[in-house]
Amino acid sequence: MDFLPTLWFILIAVLWTGYLFLEGFDLGVGMMMKVFARNEKERRQLLNTIGPVWDGNEVWLLTAGGATFAAFPLWYASLFSALYVPLVLVLMALIFRAVAIEYRGKARSDRTRNAWDWALALGSFLAAFGVGAMLALTTTGLPLNANGDRVGGAFAWLNGYAVLGGLGVVLFALAQALAFTGLKTDGPIRSRANVWLRRGLPWAVLPLAAWAIVVVAKGTTAWPWLTLGVAVVAVLAAWASARAAREGWAFLWLGLFLLAGVASIFGAAYPVVLPSTLDPAFSLTVENASSSSYTLGVMSVVAAFGVPLVLAYQGWTYWVFKKRISPASIPAVHAVTPVV
C-alpha cells in the first residue's frame, strides 16, 4: 500500500463527502423552489437560507475536481472524458443554477422570475443527478480500453448504476434540504418541511443505500460492511429525530449517514478508482493513476494547511448566519427604477 496515493484517495473521498454534505442541501433547496415552496415569500425564504453559503459550498466540487486532476490525473482524464455528454449537462445545469440564484431577484415580471425558478430547480436537479451518476460510475465501472478511453459511443456510460447513483444523490439532497429548511426557517415552511421529511426520509435514502450495498458486496474488504451498519443506524436515528421534530439532529444524523455511506462505497472500491468493465487489467487504481510522490507530497502540505482553514472559516460563516429566517425577515422587493 502506497501511503501518499492512499492518503489522497481518502482526501478526495472526503472532498466529495464535503461537497455532497454541503451542496446537498443547496441543491435540494434549489429543487424545492418548485416542488415545495407555495408562494413568492416562501421561495425567497428558502433561497435566503442558502444565500450566503451556496457559492462557498460549490467550491467543494471544484476542489474535488482539481484535487483529482492533481493527485490522479489518469482518473480525472478517463472519468471526465468518458462522461462527456452528462458532464456538459451538469456544467450547463450549474451555470443556470448559479445565475438564477443571483438574477431571480432582479427579474421585473413574474414570468421572468418563474423562468429563473425553473432554471434553478431543474439546474439543481440535473447537477445532483449528474454528480451522483458520475460517482456511482467511478465505483462500478465504465467500458474503458487500455489507454483509459471510453469505447462504445457517447452513451456507453448509461446503465442502472448511473440512474441509481443519480437518484441517490437527488433524493439524499432533498432529504438533507428538508432537514436544513426545518433547521433554518420559521413559519409555515418549517412545519411543512418537518412533515415532508418525516414521511419521505425512509424512501429518500434507499437508492444511495442500494448503491452502497452493491459496491460493498462487489468488494473484497470486510470493514465497509461495518460502516454500512453505521449508515443504517444513522438513518434510523435521523428518522427518529425527524419524527420528534428535532431538525438539528435529523440534519446531523443524515450527515453521518452520508459520511458512513461514502466511506463504505469508496472503502469497498479501494484500491480501484475507476474499474474498466471490459478488462480488469485496464482498471485505474490508486497506484497506476496517481501523480508522483513529489507532487502528492507538495499537495499534502497545501491540503494540511488549506483544508482545516477552509473548515474553520466556513464553519464560522454558518455561525454568523445562524439565525432562523422567518417570513418577517424578508424585506420588501426593491423595485429598480431608472434615474436616467
Partner 1 sequence: MDPLEIGRWQFGITTVYHFLMVPLTIGLGLVVATLQTAWKRTGKDVYLRATKFWGKLFLINFIMGVATGIVQEFQFGMAWSEYSRFVGDVFGAPLAMEALLAFFVESTFLGLWIFGWKRLPKGLHLATIWLATLASVLSAYFILVANSWMQHPVGVEMIDGRPVMTDVWAVLTNNTAIITFIHTLFGALAVAGGFLFGIAWFHLYRRRRDGVDTVGADRKVIVGEDPAKGAGRDKTDYLVWFKSLRFGGWIALVAFLGVAFSGHAQAQLMIHQQPLKMASAEAACHDGTAFSVFSFGNFGGDKTTCEDVNTIWEIPGLLSFLAHDNFTTDVDGLNTLIPQYQERYGTHLPDDPKYGDRAGQEIDYQPVMGVTYWGFRLMITFGGLGALAAAIGLWVTRRGTVPNSKWLSRLAVTSVLAPFGANMAGWIFTEMGRQPFVVAPNPDSTGVDGVWMFTAAAVSPGVSGGEMLFSLVALTAVYAVLAVVEVLYLVRYVRGGVPAAMPELAAHAPDQDDTPQPDDRDVLAFAY
Q: Interface with partner 1 includes 115 (CB under 8 A)?
A: no
Nearest residue to 2 via CA among 302, 271, 220, 216? 271
By CB under 8 A, what part of segment 311-340 binds partner 1?
313-314, 317, 320-321, 323, 325-326, 328-331, 334, 336-340
Helix (H) or strand (E) holding 273: strand 272-274
Query: Which of residues 160 and 308 has its CB atom nearest to partner 1 in the complex?
Result: 308
By CB under 8 A, what part of segment 250-309 binds partner 1?
291-292, 294-295, 298-299, 302-303, 306-307
By CB under 8 A, what part of segment 154-193 binds partner 1?
154
> What are the beta bridge partners of residue 150?
144
Query: All 3 cell numbers of residue 130?
Result: 449528474
Of residues 7, 10, 77, 237, which one binds partner 1 by CB under 8 A? 77
Q: Interface with partner 1 includes 55 (CB under 8 A)?
A: yes
What is the residue whose three cell numbers read 479501494? 270
Which positions from 195 to 224 touch partner 1 by CB under 8 A, shown as an x/- string?
Answer: ------------------------------
Nearest residue to 173 via CA among 199, 192, 215, 201? 201
Least separation in angstroms between CB 136 and partner 1: 18
Q: How many residues sit in the footprint of partner 1 (CB under 8 A)?
A: 86
Nearest residue to 36 via CA among 135, 109, 125, 103? 125
Choose the stretch contacting partner 1; rule: CB under 8 A; options: 57-65, 204-212, 213-221, 246-254: 57-65
Of residues 94, 171, 238, 265, which one binds partner 1 by CB under 8 A? 94
Of residues 34, 40, 69, 188, which one binds partner 1 by CB under 8 A? 69
Give CA 193 to chain center in angstroms: 20
What is the residue whose three cell numbers read 433547496? 29
Of residues 10, 98, 226, 256, which one binds partner 1 by CB under 8 A? 98
What's the CA gap between 75 and 272, in Å, rounded?
Answer: 10
Least separation in angstroms between CB 336 and partner 1: 4
Return the half-sphere exposure (C-beta side, CA atoms, 13 A cut-off) of residue 248. Answer: 2
Q: Interface with partner 1 includes 149 (CB under 8 A)?
A: yes
Quick check: helix, strand or coil at residue 284?
A: strand
Least separation in angstroms between CB 145 and partner 1: 8
Least separation in angstroms between CB 156 and partner 1: 9
What's the CA gap between 174 and 67, in Å, rounded?
Answer: 27
Query: Which of residues 99 and 210 has its CB atom nearest to partner 1 in the complex?
Result: 99
Q: Interface with partner 1 includes 85 (CB under 8 A)?
A: yes
Of residues 102, 195, 221, 236, which one binds partner 1 by CB under 8 A? 102
Within 10 A of 186 (CB to CB), how many other CB atoms are there? 16
Question: Cβ(104)–Cβ(10) under 8 Å?
Answer: no
Query: Which of residues 277 and 295 has its CB atom nearest to partner 1 in the complex?
Result: 295
Q: How many angstroms separate the first and last alpha carbons of the chain?
A: 68
